Structure 1
Amino acid sequence: MTLGLTALELARIQFAFTVSFHIIFPAISIGLASFLAVLEWRWLKTKDPVYQDLFKFWIKIFAVAFGMGVVSGVVMSYQFGTNWSEFSRIAGGVTGPLLAYEVLSAFFLEAGFLGIMLFGWGRVGPRAHFFATLMVAVGTCISMFWILSSNSWMQTPQGFSIENGIIVPQNWFEIVFNPSFPYRLAHMAAAAFLVAALLVASTAAWHLLKGRRDALVKKSFSMALWLILVLAPLQVLIGDNHGLNTLHHQPAKLAAIEGHWETNKGEGMPLYLFGIPDMQEERTKYALAIPNMGSLIMTHTLDGEVKGLKEFAPEDRPNSLVVFWSFRIMVGLGMLMLLLAVLGLWLRRSDRLYENKWFQRFALYMGPSGFIALLAGWFTTEVGRQPWVVYNVLRTKDALSPVSASQVGITLIIFVLVYCVVFGIGIYYMLKLMHKGPEFIHASPVDHAELGQTPMRPLSAVEESLDGQDQKQEKDHD
């Protein structure tokens, strides 16, 4: 049942599994909430019903993602008490209040206005409804602020003291605004918006490939590509500054990411494009490198010195093989996003954006890239922090609850089964909604009887049948 794995290894796998499922839904929620706010703002300003119809389509996707994000987030919170009780006991004085601030400032804000956002059309004024949408969007960003603050403190802890083996907060400003927090917040925000933009672009590309050329599809495609054009190069700049911060505060992580074993003294550090880091032999096999490029990227000089992994004790080294490749997957997909944006701009200038099928296929295939890059980035960050749960303060093995491998193994199997069924259905439902696509609701008669009915559950906001297109949409296509 445990496949020879220890309780620590199984607990890490379990948390990695649950957090990987969870992170994709808040990323969709953060990005789509802001996108919805922009759509409603444009509708209020221009009175163009296309924006209203797009809002009513994407709010369905948002509702499903938000609901699944809340459910999966609750499970993660429980794991702090079940598998990681020592972490909660030792570091809970810092992480507990930060998570509480997230609930008090963000979750209550989202919960207070979410009902108006989902079900308020025709019941409150347009400006009041826009305010509710804006508050939900702000709430998702505030939630991201506190979660990233807590996680960044675990990466670069400061503002605390240790008393009787317990981490005691001393300076909350230093705790919240720890050295890596600004870079990681900006990096995550850009990633979440890219996730949403790529989702919107790929959905529109699917319908363009199927022959739709109406205003709803074109507007979606255009807005998403403009956002990717802004965010992709911005993310490169943010990532560069984040790397410099990591070099200063977490040099072992940076060395593992680069597969860099020997400290380069008097010569430039190469950049490995390809290689297989070997933790036992302490070298990167089959390396394909660009001379001096590593120093140029890491120190902005051709011969800047960067510490190698051999500078750190073997028990303090992250797994270089994992972070080496997860980082390159993230960067590689980021370069493809930049290529997508540039090609989109070129085709837009030549007035071929909505007719070029190979580009539309490219945009369609890039749809999942935001999620993959997001997960690869988180694997790089979290595996690169090992063997510490609080960097240089608390080791991961010392944060584990007194549980057996069989106990953790059984719950891991249950999690895998339940998550694959529950969230598999949710993801399938979202894909069906996107397959159906946006509709011209403003051209349809309003059913005032249905307008007076109030849904009882958030996911009830997604009410349409998914079995094919309705007659009105078919007529619009013709």
Structure 2
Amino acid sequence: MDAFLLSRIQFAANITFHILFPSISIALGWMLLFFKLRYNATGAEKWNLAYRFWVKVFALTFAVGVVSGVTMSFQFGTNWPGFMNTVGNIAGPLLGYEVLTAFFLEATFLSVMLFGQQRVGAKMHTAATFLVAGGTTLSAFWIIALNSWMQTPQGFEMRDGVAHVTSWIEVIFNPSMPYRLTHMLLASGLTMAFLVAGVSAYRWLRGDRVDEVRATLRTAATLAAILIPLQIVAGDMHGLNTLHHQPAKIAAMEGIWTTETRVPAVLFALPDEATRSNRYEVAIPGLASLYLGHDWDAEIQGLDRFEGKHPPVAPVFFAFRIMVGAGLLMLALSWAGAWQMRGGREMKPWLARGFVACTFLGWIALVAGWYTTEIGRQPWLVTGVLTAADAATQIAPVNVAFTLAMYVALYLALIVAYVSVVFFMAGKARQLANQPDDPRIATGGEPARSHA
């Protein structure tokens, strides 16, 4: 393998690992704020205990996300020098804004969240939680702004092969940015909701059935049940935006080889680029024209319109279906959970096991969606401006292979460690509850709230 292919694999490995953790911390910050506000309003100790447990998970997630983010940024210079040389005037400031306005905000007030509950007033502690939650969302805003600009660039002009900004408003609020940001924030909410529900169900199955666990399980299942229909709507709107601005990506996602009307919706197939056809195709006639063009007879552009300038079909085709399949499973599981727990009822053990099994289902859907987006942009790194091949490094392949091997080994170790620590903390939560410095008791009682 040459340096170009190895660099692509390395960046894919890095972004795959990195995106797992911001996807949790973005939404978990707001969940912590919800727990804090409920505790302030009701004085119920279960909300305080929920906050204290999940703020530790947030800190762990934030730390791992920071580490992976730093290594990812190095690759712009080492593996993709053509990217910064060509569009650094746009990418550099956007990445800088993310650090200055978001990361510093999160890092500063995270310590107050973790260690300040007994040292600062309740209002200050709540404000710190709000600022950290806002910082995580602001961070997502800047990163999605850059990524969306790479997908649908505008607000710039090329001078001597270098991009120069003509309008920062147009750069930031490019055509796909609102749809992509909404889709990402909802995906983050779902990823976090299934993590909270899965870990809470794990504790519940182990006999830790105090009020805190019931509250977090019900809250997470209900949140997921609300968010998944919104995500379906947002995904449809995002798809229509992509059809308008990146039709080659949609053609690859849907397995559409030739431009035609009454295009079928391909449920399953084995795309064959050699014969430019789908083998073993299972499809519903005309349905793709209906949901893409809102007309049974709508014409949809096929891959034949983009010879030499379309993404590899099979990875995009299958990643999109994995994302949709995971979303449908989320829909079924969250609605079943919300229905079973209505009115304070208990969740059935079989469904609780389902939530435990799907604790990280959001990660699968998120990575599949990210692959659909990023591979679907190929061969472009910045659509219509810079190809990935033109931006790639010329260093020796063995150097890239060496760093790739180290990255993958480290990432696998960190993933295992992260998952193990989260479930270890969940398994020890009951023991911590019975210690003298923790006011919760095994029967789920509500000690009097301290107003100190």
* Category of TM-score, reference length = shorter chain: over 0.9
**SS of the counterpart of 1:402?**
coil
In structure 2, the partner of 1:367 is 359
Q: Sequence identity of aligned pairs in percent?
A: 45
- Using the size of structure 1 for normalisation, the TM-score is 0.90
- What do residues 26-46 of structure 1 show as CA deviations (whole Å, max 9, x unaligned)? 111112111101100111111
Select 1:82's aligned residue among 78, 84, 100: 78
Report the counterpart of residue 228 of structure 2 in structure 1. 232
Separation of aligned partners in 2, 1:310 and 1:167:
30
Shift of 1:207: 2.2
- TM-score when scaled to structure 2? 0.95
Residue in structure 1 matched with residue 274 of structure 2 by the alignment: 280
Deviations 1:385-427 (A, max 9, x none): 0000001110000011221211111111121222233443233
Equivalent residue number for residue 265 of structure 2 = 271
After superposition, what is the alpha-carbon deviation per residue over 1:318-349, rounded to whole angstroms, capped at 9, x for unaligned? 11100111000101110111111221233234
Choose which of 159, 168, 178 in structure 1 pairs with 2:174: 178
Return 24-33 or 238-247, whichever deviates more.
Answer: 24-33
Shift of residue 226 of structure 1? Answer: 1.1
Question: What is the identity, as a one-letter code, of the residue corresponding to 1:366?
Answer: C
Displacement, 1:6? 1.4
Count of matched residue positions in the alignment of Structure 1 and Structure 2: 445
- 2:143 corresponding residue in structure 1: 147
Q: Quick one: distance in 2 between partners of 1:81 and 1:438?
A: 48
Deviations 1:341-388 (A, max 9, x none): 22123323486542x122112222221210000000000000000000
Aligned counterpart for 2:9 among listed residues 10, 13, 25? 13
Deviations along 1:192-218, one digit per CA (max 9) or x if unpaired, are 111110001111211222233321111
- Distance in 1 of aligned mates of 2:190 and 2:25: 12
Partner residue, 1:453: none
Q: Does structure 2 retain, via aligned residues, the 8 Å contact 1:226–1:341?
A: yes
**Contact kept? 2:157, 2:164, Cα under 8 Å:** yes
* Corresponding residue SS for 1:88: helix
Secondary structure (helix, strand or coil) at the match of 1:241 reads helix
**Counterpart for residue 333 of structure 1:** 326
Structure 2 distance, partners of 1:350, 1:302, is: 43
Counting only pairs closer than 5 Å after superposition, residues 315-394 of structure 1 correspond to structure 2 as 315-349=308-342, 352-354=345-347, 356-394=348-386
Closer/same/farther in 2, CA of residues 444 and 209 from structure 1, 3 Å limit: closer
1:126 to 122, 125, 129: 122
Distance in 1, Cα, partners of 2:75 & 2:171:
23
Instruction: Give the partner amino acid of 1:272.
Output: V
Question: Per the alignment, do residues 361 and 446 of structure 1 end up closer, same or farther by CA in structure 2, a change over 3 Å counting?
Answer: closer
How far the C-alpha of 1:310 sits from its partner, in A, is: 0.9
Residue 25 of structure 2 corresponds to residue 29 of structure 1: yes
SS state of the match for residue 287, structure 1? Answer: strand
User: Offset of 1:300 from its aligned partner?
Assistant: 1.5
User: 1:204 and 2:187 equivalent?
Assistant: no
CA contact (8 A) 1:53 1:439 kept: no
Runs of 4 or more above 4 Å deviation: 349-352, 438-441, 472-477
Look up the match of 1:68. 64
CA separation in 2, counterparts of 1:349 and 1:418?
43
Letter in 1 for 2:328: M
| Alignment check: 8 A CA contact 1:7 1:403 kept | yes
Q: Where in structure 2 are there 5+ consecutive unaligned residues?
A: 446-452
Structure 2 distance, partners of 1:77, 1:100, is 11
Structure 2 CA distance for aligned equivalents of residues 175 and 383 of structure 1: 22
Change (3 A) 1:196 1:219: same
Paired residues for 1:304-319 under 5 Å: 304-313=298-307, 315-319=308-312
Look up the SS of the partner of 1:213 in the other structure.
coil
Distance (Å, rounded) in 2 between the aligned partners of 1:378 and 1:54: 31
Secondary structure in 2 matching 1:276: strand
CA distance in 2, matches of 1:427, 1:358: 22
- State the AA in 1 paired with 2:267: L
Superposition deviation, residue 262 in structure 1:
1.0
Please state whether the residue corresponding to 1:385 is helix, strand or coil.
coil
Cα distance in structure 2, aligned partners of 1:438 and 1:131: 29
Kindly indicate whether the alpha-carbon contact (under 8 Å) linking 1:25 and 1:66 is maintained by their aligned counterparts in 2. Answer: yes
Q: Is the 8 A contact 1:440 1:473 kept in 2?
A: no
Q: 1:179 is paired with a residue of what secondary structure?
A: coil
Partner of 2:448: none
User: SS of 2:21's equivalent?
Assistant: helix
Aligned to 2:449: none
> d(CA) in 1 for partners of 2:183 and 2:212?
30
> Is the aligned partner of 1:254 residue 2:247?
no
Distance 2:443 2:32 in 1: 27
CA contact 1:439–1:473 (8 Å) conserved in 2: no
Counterpart code for 2:34: V
Deviation at 1:439, TM superposition (A): 6.8
Give the deviation of 1:128 after TM superposition: 0.3
The 8 Å contact of residues 201 and 352 in structure 2, kept in 1 or not, is answered as yes
Q: Distance in 1 between matches of 2:343 and 2:182?
A: 33
* Conservation of the 8 A alpha-carbon contact between 1:10 and 1:409: yes
Once the two structures are superposed, residues 65-101 of structure 1 have per-residue CA deviations (whole angstroms, 9 ceiling, x without a partner) of 1000001100001011100111111110111000111
Deviation at 1:286, TM superposition (A): 0.8
Distance across 2 between alignment mates of 1:352 and 1:127: 33
| Matched-pair contact (CA < 8 Å) for 2:211–2:444 | no
**Aligned residue in 2 for 1:296:** 290
**C-alpha deviation, 1:107, in angstroms:** 1.0
Closer, same or farther in 2 for the Cα pair 1:256/1:6, shift >3 Å?
same
Q: Deviations over 1:144-191 (max 9, x none)?
A: 000000000000000111100111111100000000000000000001
Aligned residue number for residue 135 of structure 1: 131
Task: Give the match's secondary structure for 1:317.
Answer: coil
SS in 2 for 1:211: coil
What corresponds to 1:454 in structure 2? none
